[in-house]
Amino acid sequence: MPLSFLRLGSFDAPPESRREKADDGRLLESWRSQSVPVYPFTIYHASSRAARRYTLYVTSDAVRKRWYNAFVDAIGVHKVRQDANMVCSQGCCWT
- Mean pLDDT across the stretch 38-49? 91
CA distances from 28 to 33, 36, 74, 85 (A): 11, 20, 47, 62
User: What does pLDDT average to over the chain?
Assistant: 85
Q: Can you give the pLDDT at residue 42? A: 96
Bridge partners, residue 18, by sequence: 36
pTM exceeds cut of 0.85? no
Question: What was the pLDDT predicted at 25?
Answer: 63
The model's pLDDT over 73-95, given as tens digits with 9 standing for 90+, comes to 999 999 898 888 876 666 555 55
pLDDT score, position 33: 78
**What are the residue ranges spanned by the domains of the chain?**
3-90
pLDDT band for position 26 (cuts 50, 70, 90): low
Q: Which residues pair with 56 in a beta bridge?
A: 41
Q: 52 or 40: whose pLDDT is higher? A: 40
pLDDT at 5 over 80: yes
